Each structure stands twice: as C-alpha cells, then as structure tokens.
Structure 1
Amino acid sequence: MSTIAVTDAGFKADVLESDKPVLVDFWAEWCGPCKMIAPALEELSDEMADSVTIAKMDIMGNPGVPGEMGVQSIPYLVVFKGGEAVAEMRGAAPKGQLKQWLESVL
C-alpha cells in the first residue's frame, strides 16, 4: 500500500478516526529534506501496511491542520493513535532510523 494524501477536509476521517495508527508526514514541494525521505516513507508504507497507514499532508495546499498543530518546520512526522498524537519527529532521517522510531511507537 502506498502512502495516502490527506487534506484538511479529510484529516478527521482519514487520521483521527482511523482504526489503525497513522503516521502523517507534513511536507511541502519546495522542501529538500522532505523529498529526501519520501522514497523511504513509500517503502515503509508497503513494508508496514498491516500495522500503520502512512499519510502525507502538503502544508501549502492544506494550511488548516498544520496551523492548528503549530507546525513550524518540515519535514514533521506525527504518529496518531486513537485520534491522539502519540509521537513526533522533526527533520529527515535515513529509512532504518525512521523504521526503528516508527516501530518503537506502534
């Protein structure tokens, strides 16, 4: 399963009301580090599809949720479980480090 795109309008249904944990990647097209981690997130989305949904939110096209959450730098990764943010990571990291972090919070 590939990453899914999530919008301000769909955030509640796609993330907060999801039956399984959701990792949201807050990103923007102009962000170099965001582009660097994108392939790793796609791979992790396939590898970990049974345990987590990986979603991407473009902060330029969807300013509502990032504004409410106080997103000030990207990439900004947040894991949601049961409608609550339970873990966050700022900045880019290698795939192995991303996977280890994600597994530790699931």
Structure 2
Amino acid sequence: MKSIRGEKNAASGSAGTPIDLNDRNFSAELMKQNIMVVDFWAPWCGPCQMVHPIIEELAREYAGKVTFGRLNVDDNQATSAAFRVRSIPTILIFKNGKVADGVIGAVPKKMLESKIKSVMSAQ
C-alpha cells in the first residue's frame, strides 16, 4: 500500500500514524475503532494537500485516543459514494461506526480539533 507521498508506509496503522484506507479494509478498520477521523482526499486536490499535515499532527497528538485514516476517493469510489462524498477534502468523524460529525474543505486545525473533542465528549 502506498502512502500519499508515494513511499511505502511501513507504520500504517501504528499509533500516531494515519491508516491508509481502501474499499476492502474500510469497514473492518472502522469497526475496530471507537472514534475514527477519515480524510477523503485525492492526489490532484490542492486543498487536500494542505490538510494532510494537519491530519498527521492531530494523529500524533491524539495517539491512543482517536484513530486517523485517509481514503483516496479516486481509487476507492465505492466507499466515497457510500458516504456521499461529493467534494474534497471531506473529513468525517465516526463514533462507534457511525458518522458523528464532519467538515468539507480545508479547515484550520483548531476547527477540526474542536469537532473531534466534541465527538469525544458526547455520550
């Protein structure tokens, strides 16, 4: 599996590293997690590239509490369609396998972090 930058992502799924998601592993990975933040992106999307460092930083900061993943919408159209992703970047926050919140577009780290904290604190 390739990471965004093209090199092999040996740490995929380890604490503090976003998981490379695809149509085959999405459901299984989602069901393993209490809270999961998924970045729906594409390589040609400029705003998506702006979001990647934010996702990586948050993945490190929330390691052990929240799992982060990335799904390339061009290569994984079934999952993208299932969640009605029409614009990218779309970031969905799942809790117990269900969409709890999300944002469309490149947003500041503080806004995304606020949404994550809100989902974490919700019963």
What range describes the TM-score normalised by the shorter chain of this pair? Answer: over 0.9
Structure 1: gaps (5+ residues): none
Match of 1:101 in 2: 115
Q: Spell out structure 1 runs of 4+ moving beyond 3 A.
A: none
The alignment's TM-score, normalised by the length of structure 2, stands at 0.81
How far 1:20 moved relative to its partner?
A: 2.2
Provide the rounded CA distance (Å) in 2 between the counterparts of 1:54 and 1:41. Answer: 7
1:15-26 matched pairs, under 5 angstroms: 15=30, 17-26=31-40
AA aligned opposite 2:58: L
Shift of 1:100: 1.7
* 2-structure distance, mates of 1:85, 1:97: 17
Q: CA deviation at 1:19?
A: 3.3
- Quick one: distance in 2 between partners of 1:32 and 1:74? 10
Deviation of residue 97 (structure 1)?
Answer: 2.0
Deviation at 1:64, TM superposition (A): 0.6
Identify the structure with bigger relative contact order (alpha carbons < 8 Å, sequence gap 6+).
Answer: 1
Give the match for residue 80 of structure 1. Answer: 94
2:13 alignment partner in structure 1: none
Q: Percent identity?
A: 36
Distance 2:97 2:112 in 1: 21
Distance 2:82 2:115 in 1: 24
Question: Cα RMSD between the aligned structures?
Answer: 1.0
TM-score normalised per structure 1: 0.93
Q: Distance in 1 between matches of 2:19 and 2:83?
A: 20
Q: How much does 1:96 deviate?
A: 2.0
